[in-house]
Amino acid sequence: MDRAAPATDVMPGAAASREPITPSPSSRFGDWRLAVKSIIGFWLVYALTVLVRALLGGDIATVLLNRAVTIAVGVLLTFGIYSAIAGFGQGRSTRRRATIAFAASLTAAFAQAGVLMVADGLMRRPQDEFRFQAREGFVVIQKGLQIRIERAATEPLVLTLPKIGELGRHDIFRVFADATVVWLFFFAAWSAFYLAVQAQAETLDARRRIAEAESAAQQAQVRALRYQVNPHFLFNTLNSLSSLVLADRSAEAESMILKLSAFFRSSLTLDPTADVTLADEIALQQHYLDIETVRFPKRLRVEIAVPPELERARLPALLLQPLVENAIKYGVAATREKVVLTIAAAFLEPDRLLLTVTNRPDGKASGAVRTPPDGGTGVGLTNVCERLRARFGNRANCSFGPRKDGGYEVRMTMPFEPAPAPAPEASAAHG
């Protein structure tokens, strides 16, 4: 018979909390909710095993009462382990915290074993009766600390086992060592679980902060590029308007002011860091081209070639604006010939979009379109390429250069990411 059973009966278990709680770097006990939930979970599993064991016997109340002491002391000691890890391990390395956790678990195991050995003399023994047949033919009946051996034609032999306090020092030490090992594994299991969840939370928090930093840097970059584009466009437009006024073309100047107002009314409502559909971007550029058509009524022809299936493609707002400006500046304003400005879109692959902005001579005129000088498109083309990289990373590409027919072309490739189709209710309302 194992006389140490009253002090060492245990079924270690674990219950994991699913709620991700990030430890607060500014507070030693910032993750106390995680600690409380995990401690309750561990000891709840132990309590369930005790309950199942008690239901198999006849003296359920005594078993549960005895184990209630074990659970109460164990919960307090587990909180002590957490306090040691949180108090002395804050800001330490994982190895240092693991060392603190092991030392605290060993201390708690000593304390648990000692408390239960002292309490063993005060606990009632369950009155369940265990009966089995020995190989020698005797019937052995155990009830509490009493063992009764029934032998044929002989008076039963009754033995009473000693309590732990009645054992010799060597035996007491052995019982204490056995109990300590059992409880060390239990407390160490909780410590390992807690440290693992804590390390995972710290890793996720570090990843989140890195992602937020990258996102903030990307948004700042996009905003900075957008703010460079806006003054460029405004400067060119006001230059055109000034030329009309000086030429006493007041009707055309008035028309340009109205179109400029429509353009700004559309563009200023856009989120600088948001995407727009290709259809919306084309519509916005059409406002700008209407302005330039007033300035160059006989020299500018606009062609838009965007298939309906590509109109929902998403791209950064005002991405085409500097390209259209450059096409006007270097393709139309620099020549007396008629120029065709084309904005075209096509599928490069099933999941990739090819977007081009081209200015070329109209008809048989050769060399009518002037190639931009070196550095002359720094604010325009450079910003477009930078915005594409900021938005799509290495999944996008931007190239530009003169055409064989004397024109100039900018080619942009990017992932085809269609915007969600409008809800039927919204379409009906707009209709």
Same domain for 49 and 141, yes or no, is no
Same domain for 297 and 197, yes or no, is no
Q: What is the predicted pLDDT for the residue at 237?
A: 72
**Averaged confidence pLDDT in the chain:** 79
Within-domain flag for 233: no
Question: Average of pLDDT values for 321-333?
Answer: 84
87-144 tens-digit pLDDT: 888 778 888 989 999 999 999 999 999 988 888 777 777 667 777 787 777 888 777 6
Q: 43: exposed, middle or buried (C-beta count within 10 Å: 0-12, 13-18, 19+)?
A: buried
Say how far apart CA 187 and CA 214 lie, in whole Å. 40
User: Is the pLDDT reported for residue 378 higher than 70?
Assistant: no
Q: 211: exposed, middle or buried (C-beta count within 10 Å: 0-12, 13-18, 19+)?
A: exposed
Instruction: Grade residue 417 by pLDDT with cuts at 50, 70 and 90.
Output: very high
Same domain for 147 and 290, yes or no, is no
Same domain for 204 and 332, yes or no, is no
Within-domain flag for 239: no
- Which residue would you say has higher pLDDT here, 287 or 353? 353
290-300 tens-digit pLDDT: 878 877 888 89
Same domain for 75 and 145, yes or no, is no
Within-domain flag for 231: no
Facing residues of 302 across strands?
A: 341
Q: What is the predicted pLDDT for the residue at 203?
A: 87
Same domain for 276 and 145, yes or no, is no
Percentage, residues of the chain above pLDDT 70: 79
340 torsion bin: left (phi>0), alpha (psi -120 to 50), beta (else): beta
Question: Average of pLDDT values for 174-189?
Answer: 92
Same domain for 265 and 362, yes or no, is yes
pTM of the model: 0.48
Domain count, the chain: 3
311-325 tens-digit pLDDT: 999 998 888 988 888
Say how far apart CA 247 and CA 234 lie, in whole Å. 20
User: 140: domain range?
Assistant: 124-162
Structure tokens at 251: 């009707």
- Ranges 78-87, 203-212, 362-371: which has the least confidence: 362-371
Same domain for 42 and 175, yes or no, is yes
Same domain for 359 and 425, yes or no, is yes
Say how far apart CA 350 and CA 416 lie, in whole Å. 8
Within-domain flag for 26: yes
Within-domain flag for 391: yes
Within-domain flag for 296: yes
Q: Residue 361 sits in a domain of what CATH number?
A: 3.30.565.10
- The string of DSSP letters for 297-332 reads TTTEEEEEE--GGGTTBEEETTSSHHHHHHIIIIII
User: Is the pLDDT reported for residue 79 higher than 70?
Assistant: yes
